């Protein structure tokens, strides 16, 4: 369980303490329309995965991870998890995340 939690934390982009919440949202909002679509959310939240996938096969194998004996994870699996999280955060169910929805603590 700890390995999975650590892996999830590694897959979240880091947020420097000095960076403002609005700036963090603005960087994720690729088309700068003030809302995040699912593809924007997945692209932003996949940054660490893509950095860890050293052979660029859309799979993070245990040897590509920092956690000993970590489970294999595909980009497709990660995107499925991200889509589920996106739906939880989309409180008004409009298919987009506002800044407030995006920055709210995950549930």
Q: What is the pLDDT of residues 8-45, one digit of tens each?
A: 445 555 444 435 777 888 999 999 999 999 999 999 99
Per-position DSSP letters for the chain, written without gaps between them = -HHHHHHHHHHSPP--TTS-HHHHHHHH-TT-SSSB-HHHHHHHHTHHHHHH-TT-SSEE-GGGSSSTTPPPEEHHHHHHHHHHHHHHH-TT-SSSB-HHHHHSPP-
Q: How confident is the model at residue 105 (pLDDT cuts 50, 70, 90)?
A: confident
Give me the chain's average pLDDT, please: 84
Identify the domain containing residue 32 by its residue range.
2-103
* Total count of domains within the chain: 1
Q: CATH number for the domain including 58?
A: 1.10.238.10
């Amino acid at each position: 369980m700890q390995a999975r939690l650590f892996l999830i934390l590694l897959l979240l982009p880091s947020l420097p303490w000095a960076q403002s919440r609005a700036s963090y949202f603005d960087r994720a909002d690729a088309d700068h329309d003030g809302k995040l679509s699912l593809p924007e959310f997945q692209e932003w939240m996949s940054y660490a995965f893509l950095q860890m996938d050293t052979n660029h096969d859309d799979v993070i194998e245990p040897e590509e991870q920092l956690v000993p004996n970590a489970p294999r994870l595909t980009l497709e699996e990660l995107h499925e998890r991200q889509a589920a999280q996106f739906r939880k955060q989309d409180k008004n169910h409009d298919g987009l995340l506002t800044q407030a929805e995006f920055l709210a603590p995950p549930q």
